Amino acid sequence: MYKWYTDSAATLVFLAEVSHPSKPKDLPHSKWMTRAWTLQELLAPPVILFYDSEWKPYLGNTGTNHKESPEIMQELADAIKIPCGNIVTFSPRGLGVREKLRLASTRNATYEEDVAYSLIGIFKSDIRPHYGEGADSLGHLLEEIVTRSGDDTVLAWSGKSSSYNSCLPASISVYSRTPYSPPLLEGEAMKKCITELRDDQKLLEWEALAIYKQIKSLRPARFASRRLYLPCIVFPVRGFIRYRARISGLTGVDVTTTDNIILDKQRRFFLVHPWIRYIRGRHNGVNGEYLSGSDTDTDSGVDVSTGWHRVASPHAAPPPLIGRYARALEMIARLGQPFHALLLVQQPGGEYKRVAADNDIFVPGLGTDIDPRDIRAKTLEIL
């Protein structure tokens, strides 16, 4: 369907409930803007024309393409909160995964499966419609997104878990909320963190490099047979006092779950930091903003730390901080930032399940007081 609209000479949209004469902002409030399938009708066509209930051009605009109308496009851009340019010349690569899910999150469909199937073209997905699978259709789509792109923003939600996989949501509506995204850590803020990490002498160079090696060796998140293989930093939960968790290496973490939490010897809980791509510095968490950090092992020889360490003698010039050690400290500085975590419970077979939470589980962060013994980088198998 998406390709069909993309290749069309023109797409005509009849707004049955928009009375004549139409007025500004009638279109954004029309029923057409609430349906799942109409999102691709809006984005895919190069030429689109809107008509009111009497088949008169919307707002009296008699142009040959309403995507060339600044007034109409601005109405739509304000309504769906993306730039006009993304509507006029939409490309599946022009918006990030999370932004496309947000666009779809407020729309509804007669058939549950159509919530996912209407997004096949927008995500350039290869899944095939199979009516009768119900909520699993959304699971199939999200599974493919994660497997093909390694995009972990799909996991940033709170609410009820899907029966497809506990790390996926039961409803696409959860993506209407903007998840927490840590601030960019660069420039003077990064220098300050690096200075504290080096000057406190709590983290030796070999310890920093060991943490760096652990995190760098993790492979991207992927699915196989409905199981999510999730790279993450793992923090064991020692217990719960009411809803405040006692967690190794972390303090001040409040947890409100939709599932009952029962602690016993057979149920081990873990809080995990899954935003590995942010820690590595490839881009910023859920927003996909690129940072300046490199994730290669090549020693570039670039001085990234002049003045970031104590000077032993007033006459001694500070040595430059380059190569893997520099990248290790940058990575550890990002690891110390606040983040929202996932709560997992270990299963008898060694796999894990996500414990559904009513709200984001916010972790204040490790700061620069990092104990290497608390950093356990693993890939967990989640059902």
**What are the extents of the domains in the chain?**
2-88, 97-176, 187-382
Is a pLDDT exceeding 60 seen at residue 284?
A: no
Between 284 and 325, the more confident residue is 325
Tokens of 37: 């399938």
pLDDT at 226: 94
Q: How far apart are CA 306 and CA 301, in angstroms?
A: 13
Average pLDDT of the residues in 130-136: 92
Question: How would residue 281 be classed by pLDDT, with cut points 50, 70 and 90?
Answer: confident
Is a pLDDT exceeding 70 seen at residue 320?
A: no
Mean pLDDT of the chain: 85
Q: How far apart are CA 199 and CA 205, in angstroms?
A: 12
Q: How far apart are CA 94 and CA 131, in angstroms?
A: 29
pLDDT at 242: 56
Q: Global pTM?
A: 0.84
Average pLDDT of the residues in 200-208: 84
Q: How far apart are CA 127 and CA 137, in angstroms?
A: 9
pLDDT at 101: 96
Residue-wise over 339-363: b if at least 16 C-beta within 10 A, else e?
Answer: bbbbbbbbeeeeebbbbbbeebbeb
For residue 45, give the 3-state DSSP assignment: coil
Average pLDDT of the residues in 299-313: 36
Is a pLDDT exceeding 70 seen at residue 362?
A: yes
